[in-house]
Structure 1
Amino acid sequence: MSTDRTNELINNYNQILSKVHSLNPNCKLVAVSKYKPSSDILSLYNHGVRHFGENYTQELISKAQELPKDIRWHFIGNLQSGKAKDLCKNVPNLYAIETIDSLKKCKQVNTQRNKHEGENINIFLQVNTSGEEQKSGYLKIEEIEETIEWILSDECNKLNLKGLMTIGSFTESTSGEENKDFKKLTDLKKELDSKYNLNLELSMGMSNDFEQAIKQGSTSVRVGSSIFGARLTKEEIKSN
């Protein structure tokens, strides 16, 4: 790892963190490191960063096995049912899964974490606030409530209900005005907090809209390209 690259990463991270904390000193910044080498992550780790996000199960497992064990990994990709076992078994320091979109997946993660005797996992329920067909996430509040009630029950012992997550539509995230998708999540949080006596966190906001997200109540933002630079595509990675 060159000194120039290390300095670039640290400067980028510090600039984003400064913007985040100027809006909310308590907001968490998750550095999204998908498709980036472990050396990049290690540079930021040595700078004191601990929260990193990954989108793909195998990439996360690979990095978790070679990087320091006190990293707090956030899984932020689409969780396929068959991958819950791999994550729970091979990433003991999995801090959070931010993309739970069904009760079935909750039960799978809880079962697999019990089998492999790992630490509890923080769970964010992903809500499809934009209603876009290509996006994952809960659409019905009844299904969200059913999941919450199960997590809060004695049957669930390896999951901590941490909060709600959403991804704003491109139109809303580039409007420069109040993001209606984020407002839907903040309104839902108020409703669920009141009903279940909770204080749910909100994970919303990425490189192009994290400042607006924080202004609207986000307590955790996921930023990748503004820290690490543009990512290679899967095809470009394969051809290298």
Structure 2
Amino acid sequence: MSLNDTYVSLSREIAASGARMVAVTKTHSVEVIQSLYDLGHRDFGENRVAELAEKHAALPKDINWHFIGHLQTKKAKNVVPLAHLIHSGDSLKLLRELDKRAGGNSVDVLLQYHIAVEESKYGLTRSTGVELLDDVSRHPLRNVRILGVMGMATYTDDRDLVAEEFRTLHEIYSEVKETYFEDNPMFTEISMGMSGDYRIALDQGSTLVRIGSLLLGERQ
């Protein structure tokens, strides 16, 4: 199946569930990204700051770049001017640094929660998330806007486990929305699901799915 056919099929399927696709283009060429752009796609995901900067400079400026990798605090200043949405807000320290580096511009962020069995994945727990949000409530962020939550499921063939983890993230989203963002119409995003589990994520209410290999093949 051609890139065009694969893209159209995935886009329709994901849109039918009320979600959007972030095309994960890490290690893929500028030419590949331009091909998707020419098909009308605008949401692209990168997980390395240097690679994001190179592609941002080379490609059309109306692309919505999603930073989807772990973000070190020391690199926050480099991502702020480039990213449409940062999916990996996993600590209060990082949010404060992004806020400081924003230069008066809005920086949109998702809170990353650890929902997987694997300990290697980053993210907040329910309790550390409450601590972070309580601190933000007492000392509001001036430029950072928290728009939702993100999480990655365990890398496994156990579909029931993956579905349970995605349900957990949806529950966290609902709890955070009710407690901290009930009157904020911008808090709407649940970023979960990748090439291997996006259908399960859509069933559990994902609004953003990150699709790489299923769309573009294995990384270059």
TM-score, normalised to structure 2, is: 0.90
Aligned to 2:167, the other structure's residue is in SS state helix
Amino acid at match of 2:199: E
- 1:154 and 1:129 mapped to 2: Cα distance? 27
Residue 84 of structure 2, aligned match among 73, 77, 95: 95
Amino acid at match of 1:142: S
Offset, 1:189: 1.4
Are 2:45 and 1:56 equivalent residues in the alignment? no
Residue 210 of structure 1, aligned match among 185, 198, 216: 198
Alignment of 1:52-91 (within 5 A): 52-89=44-81, 91=82
- 1:18 and 1:85 mapped to 2: Cα distance? 36
Offset, 1:9: 2.3
- 1:128 and 1:82 mapped to 2: Cα distance? 22
- 2:49 and 2:205 mapped to 1: Cα distance? 29
- 1:188 and 1:88 mapped to 2: Cα distance? 26
Alignment of 1:3-22 (within 5 A): 8-22=2-16
Alignment of 1:22-61 (within 5 A): 22=16, 24=17, 26-61=18-53
Query: CA, structure 1 residues 145+14, in 2 after alignment: closer, same or farther (shift >3 Å)?
Result: same
What runs of 5+ residues in structure 1 fail to find an aligned partner? 1-6, 233-240
Are 2:158 and 1:175 equivalent residues in the alignment? yes
What corresponds to 1:238 in structure 2?
Answer: none
Query: CA, structure 1 residues 152+63, in 2 after alignment: closer, same or farther (shift >3 Å)?
Result: farther
What corresponds to 1:138 in structure 2?
Answer: 124
1:159-201, Cα deviation, whole Å (9 max, x unpaired): 2111111100023xx3233611111111111211221215442
What runs of 5+ residues in structure 2 fail to find an aligned partner? none
Q: How many aligned residue pairs are there?
A: 215
- 2:137 and 2:213 mapped to 1: Cα distance? 36
Offset, 1:127: 0.5
What corresponds to 2:95 in structure 1?
Answer: 106
- Give percent identity, aligned residues only: 33
Aligned to 1:48, the other structure's residue is in SS state coil
What corresponds to 1:230 in structure 2?
Answer: 218
Amino acid at match of 2:20: K
- 2:136 and 2:30 mapped to 1: Cα distance? 34
1:85-136, Cα deviation, whole Å (9 max, x unpaired): 11124x2xx210001110000011111112xx5x422211110012422110
- 1:192 and 1:154 mapped to 2: Cα distance? 17
Query: CA, structure 1 residues 46+153, in 2 after alignment: closer, same or farther (shift >3 Å)?
Result: farther
TM-score, normalised to structure 1, is: 0.83
Residue 115 of structure 2, aligned match among 113, 129, 132: 129
Cα contact 1:74–1:97 (8 A) shared by 2 = yes
What is the Cα-based RMSD across aligned positions, in Å? 1.9
Are 2:178 and 1:194 equivalent residues in the alignment? yes
